[in-house]
Amino acid sequence: MATPLAQPQIALPATPSLPGRRFDHLFFPGVAWLMLLTVFIGFAPSYYLAGALRAPLPSVAIHVHAAVFSCWILLLIAQTSLTVAGRAG
């Protein structure tokens, strides 16, 4: 009578023990907020605060481009915030 060969057991490491995992919930949303701040500071004189600073207001095409880009940055913040809150998926 043949005996079955023993299958080797492979132990996989648990996901929470990945290096740096505990700082992910601070790092990624922090970088997203830093990107928002950088975009606002960089484009404030020429776009966001152009009317207040007496700069010439841009054309319609630039308004559309700025609106899409601004929404993309806000979407990035929403995604990182929802992921940290455990509501991904």
Q: Where are the chain's structural domains?
A: 23-84
pTM: 0.67
User: For 43-82, what is each residue's pLDDT tens digit?
Assistant: 988 888 887 777 777 788 888 898 999 999 999 999 999 9
Cβ proximity of 73 and 35 under 8 Å = yes
pLDDT at 39: 94
Q: Comparing C-alpha atoms, which of 66, 77, 73, 65 is closest to residue 44?
A: 66
Report d(CA 32, CA 76) in Å as an integer.
6
Q: Is the pLDDT of residue 14 over 60?
A: no
